[in-house]
Amino acid sequence: MNSMDTIRPLLDRVQRIALIWGLIGAALSLFFARQDMDQFFRSYLFAYVYWLAIPTGCLAILMLHHLTGGWWGYSIRRLLEAGTRTFLPMAILFLPVLLGMPRLYKWAQPAAVAADPMLQYKRPYLNPQFFIVRCIIYFLIWLTLAWLLNKWSSEQDRTGDPRLAARMEAISGPGLILWGIAVTYSSIDWVMSLEAHWFSTMYGFIVMVVAALTAMSFVVFVLRKLSRQEPIAQSVSPSQFNDLGNLMLTFVMLWAYLSFSQFLIIWAGNIKDEIPWYVSRAFGGWGAVAVVLIVLHFALPFLLLLQRGVKRRVELLSKVAGMLIILSLVDVFWLVAPAYETAGPRVRPLDVCAVVGIGGLWIAAFFWQLKKWPLLPVHDPRFEGALQHEHGD
């Protein structure tokens, strides 16, 4: 019997439940959209940016694994690869953002541009035609990198050619650079330009770390669910979870460092085009959300992930990962929603429906992809002989 056959019922069940919830969320989103189309596109953008962070983060961590070749990536490589193979459905799900461009962005509204000298100055870059071209480029970069890495990984499973590992390592270096450029500019286009007068050169780095942290938290959470099943059960150890916990700690610290550095530089500069972005997010209701992020997205996980006992116990580590998955959603909400909800946080039904709808569809696509391949890499020269994998009778 193929080792995948023993775990397939679990993956099928999760995929089926996720798909049902995704369809329910999508149907409710369309229902509520009839009442407020502007809010539909705003909620959709927020949910889309959050869920896209996971496959983009998976791609970065996968390339980091190929560059370092560490044992820490052995047990999560198939999870990362499955995440990267969801870029095509996410590209399709991006179409509503393009359709809602005039409702989302002031720079896409001719009347608003005509009345705003700053938008006129930025018009060579911020215009609908160039926006669409750039979006195509971003997805082409992500899709190409994901396709090559998955293609060579599949060939490695089939042929055992040792040259394929070197090939994946060779493309991962420049691939990370291209990935960083695509994530930076897409975050500027899709989120920062919601408030087109504001800008920050650190914004792209923050979004990169959010993507990596969310993706790492997600794969750790899923790995814990799979760690009781073969062949994963015999391939993971407390030391590997300790390594994954250290990576989560690194991303938590990077997020806090970059976020505070951006705040400190902008607040100290006190420039009228920069300060309003933080004024709306650091006081009142949004200020309370910022405090929640400081405590629960940094301070608490930082203290927990410093503890070796937490990182080596998969049950505790997965709880920290689950908390970070939720807090990353709050973080994205804090970045996106104040562009429209200036008075304070307000969670609308469409926000929940969009998160559930896009999330359900993405999770279903993820587990559909995960079922296609063996759950552990085969014939990788870096791990050859470490474990015996079954492929069939």
* C-alpha–C-alpha distance, residues 213 and 216, integer Å: 5
389 domain residue, yes or no: no
Domain count for the chain = 1
**What is the sign, positive or negative, of the torsion defined by CA atoms of 69, 56, 213, 93?**
negative
* C-alpha–C-alpha distance, residues 47 and 156, integer Å: 36
Domain that holds residue 73: 36-370
Mean pLDDT of the chain: 92
168 domain residue, yes or no: yes
pLDDT surpasses 50 at 391:
no
Per-residue confidence (pLDDT) for residue 388, from 0 to 100 = 44
CB proximity list for 59: less than 8 A, separation 6 or greater: 80, 83, 84, 87, 142, 145, 146, 149, 179
Per-residue confidence (pLDDT) for residue 225, from 0 to 100 = 85
Nearest Cα residue to 108 out of 82, 130, 84, 138: 130
167 domain residue, yes or no: yes
Per-residue confidence (pLDDT) for residue 283, from 0 to 100 = 87
Per-residue confidence (pLDDT) for residue 177, from 0 to 100 = 97
Rounded to an integer, the average pLDDT of 371-393 is: 66
Contact between residue 135 and residue 98 where contact means Cβ atoms under 8 Å apart: yes
Kindly report, residue by residue over 40-88, the tens digit of the pLDDT.
Answer: 999 999 999 999 999 999 999 999 999 998 888 888 999 999 999 999 9
Lowest mean pLDDT among 100-104, 216-220, 270-274: 270-274
Lowest mean pLDDT among 40-44, 206-210, 281-285, 378-382: 378-382
* Helix or strand run (H / E) with residue 192: none
Contact between residue 56 and residue 142 where contact means Cβ atoms under 8 Å apart: yes
18 domain residue, yes or no: no
pLDDT more than 90, % of the chain = 78
Rounded to an integer, the average pLDDT of 356-373 is: 97
- Cα 253 from chain centroid (whole Å): 17
29 domain residue, yes or no: no
306 domain residue, yes or no: yes
Kindly report, residue by residue over 290-326, the tens digit of the pLDDT.
Answer: 999 999 999 999 999 999 999 999 899 999 999 999 9
Q: pTM for the whole thing?
A: 0.94
Rounded to an integer, the average pLDDT of 19-45 is: 96
For residues 270 and 182, which has the higher predicted lDDT (pLDDT)? Answer: 182
Kindly report, residue by residue over 139-174, the tens digit of the pLDDT.
Answer: 999 999 999 999 999 999 888 888 999 999 999 999
Kindly report, residue by residue over 365-376, the tens digit of the pLDDT.
Answer: 999 999 999 888
Per-residue confidence (pLDDT) for residue 3, from 0 to 100 = 54
Confidence of residue 382 (pLDDT cuts 50, 70, 90): confident
pLDDT surpasses 60 at 392:
no
Per-residue confidence (pLDDT) for residue 1, from 0 to 100 = 41
Rounded to an integer, the average pLDDT of 325-351 is: 95
Confidence of residue 390 (pLDDT cuts 50, 70, 90): very low
DSSP state of 235: T
pLDDT surpasses 60 at 361:
yes
DSSP 258-289: HHHHHHHHHHHHT-TTTHHHHHHHHSHHHHHH
Identify the burial level of 238 via C-beta atoms within 10 angstroms of its C-beta, where 0-12 means exposed, 13-18 middle and 19 or more buried: middle
222 domain residue, yes or no: yes
Structure tokens at 275: 């300060």
Kindly report, residue by residue over 190-213, the tens digit of the pLDDT.
Answer: 999 999 999 899 999 999 999 999
391 domain residue, yes or no: no
